[in-house]
């Protein structure tokens, strides 16, 4: 079996994907037509060709602009169903999906509309395709802590549909400490916790330390700069704190895909995983991200299986369910 085939067949777990970042231009056009919105491009190809970003803020501007076609429950359903169908086609068995409610409620779309569309697609995808997924509510860190707290309170009636909370958007001048109270309350409410520590931000290493010591996160999104601090790496490895690295995304918004970082983290026994982040914008889903890491690091089947096992181990699932997925990885390896 070729290594490409093995990457495809490997049972996968995606832990870092923004559902709004899976909105492909083709679907944008469909939703815009349905909602009577005019787009300033002739067709999806022209729209895709116009995408230009070189750092996190320039990417985020495009990402938020793209959401304007998402207005009604079926829009959120179609978005989520499209992602889960693509994930299924790449042998993703389980996904933890970020959503950004504030990016919608701030435009007058209700929390209820957003989450009902997402949830209905998750249920259908589970029944029809066998892909299981859970939701992680992300707060936008460039808005106030008060808005985040209000959003947390708004989420509580839907708590059984949400496994955890995260923090995304522009990290500059928006450190983890700004949201300490919100995350403490989220913890009290039973949510698991993660936070973005985007690559090469001001005070990246200090922010990762704050995630660990001040917030007490269960996971870190990106977190590549941890490698600059040997003690931090040891703490992350000892505590088995997962880092959700997104190589193709990194290649667009930083100085490279950080695949060397992935290799070093693996060598240090850190729980690193490979993910797609915003695949409709960066042009690669999980399989393409794994293929990039494999080719840059020359990974064999064992190395690839380790990345997949790391993700299932870090998944916010009961032990017995994780063990079922881990057995599927072992099976795939045995058959290869």
Contact with ligand ADE (CB under 6 A) among 201, 249, 294, 308:
249
Residue number, 210 or 277, with CB nearest to Zn ion = 277
SS3 of 274, please?
A: strand
Q: Give the nearest residue (CB) to ligand ADE.
A: 168
In the region spanning residues 190 to 219, those forming contacts with ligand ADE, defined by CB under 6 A, are 196, 198
Between 11 and 166, CB nearer to ligand ADE? 166
| Interacting residues with Zn ion between 269 and 288 (CB under 5 A) | 277
Closest CA to 268 of 217, 219, 310, 327: 310
Closer residue to ligand ADE, CB minimum distance, 21 or 25: 21
In the bound complex, what is the minimum distance in angstroms from residue 18's beta carbon to ligand ADE?
4
Largest Cα separation within the chain, whole Å, is 55
Q: How far is the CB of 157 from Zn ion (least distance, A)?
A: 26
CA 294/CA 304 separation, integer angstroms: 7
Instruction: Give backbone dihedrals phi and psi of 220, rounded to 5 degrees, phi first.
Output: -130, 135
Minimum distance from residue 2 beta carbon to ligand ADE (Å): 31
Q: Is 21 in the site for ligand ADE (CB under 6 A)?
A: yes
Under 8 Å between Cβ of 235 and 212: yes
Distance of CA 172 to the CA centre of its chain: 20
Q: Which residues 6+ apart lie within 8 Å of 19 measured at CB? A: 79, 80, 83, 97, 98, 99, 118
The first and second tokens of residue 295, run together, are 């080719």
Nearer to ligand ADE, 9 or 142 (CB): 142
**What are the residues binding Zn ion (CB under 5 A)?**
277
**What are the residues binding ligand ADE (CB under 6 A)?**
18, 21, 56, 63, 168-169, 196, 198, 249, 277-278
């Amino acid at each position: 079996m070729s290594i490409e085939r093995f990457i495809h067949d490997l049972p996968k777990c995606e832990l870092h994907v923004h559902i709004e970042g899976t909105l492909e231009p083709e679907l944008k056009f469909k939703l815009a037509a349905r909602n009577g919105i005019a787009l300033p491009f002739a067709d999806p190809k022209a729209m895709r060709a116009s995408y230009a970003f070189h750092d996190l803020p320039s990417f985020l501007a495009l990402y938020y602009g793209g959401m304007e076609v998402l207005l009604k429950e079926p829009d959120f359903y179609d978005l989520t169903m499209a992602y889960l169908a693509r994930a299924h086609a790449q042998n993703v068995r389980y996904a933890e999906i970020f959503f950004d409610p504030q990016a919608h409620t701030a435009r007058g779309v209700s929390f209820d509309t957003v989450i009902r569309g997402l949830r209905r697609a998750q249920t259908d995808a589970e029944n029809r395709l066998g892909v299981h997924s859970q939701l992680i509510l992300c707060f936008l860190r460039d808005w106030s802590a008060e808005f985040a707290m209000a959003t947390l309170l708004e989420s509580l009636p839907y708590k059984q549909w949400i496994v955890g909370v995260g923090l995304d958007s522009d990290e500059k001048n928006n450190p983890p400490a700004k949201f300490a109270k919100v995350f403490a309350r989220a913890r009290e409410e039973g949510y698991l916790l993660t936070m973005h520590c985007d690559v090469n931000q001001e005070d990246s290493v200090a922010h990762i330390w704050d995630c660990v010591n001040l917030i007490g996160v269960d996971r870190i999104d990106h977190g590549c700069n941890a490698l600059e601090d040997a003690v931090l790496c040891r703490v992350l490895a000892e505590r088995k704190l997962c880092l959700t690295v997104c190589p193709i995304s990194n290649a667009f918004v930083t100085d490279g895909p950080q695949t060397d970082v992935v290799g070093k983290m693996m060598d240090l026994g850190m729980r690193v995983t490979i993910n797609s982040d915003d695949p409709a914008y960066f042009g690669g889903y999980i399989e393409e991200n794994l293929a990039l890491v494999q080719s840059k690091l020359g990974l064999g089947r064992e190395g690839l299986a380790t990345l997949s096992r790391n993700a299932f181990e870090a998944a916010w699932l009961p032990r017995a369910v994780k063990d079922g997925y881990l057995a599927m990885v072992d099976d795939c390896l045995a058959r290869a």
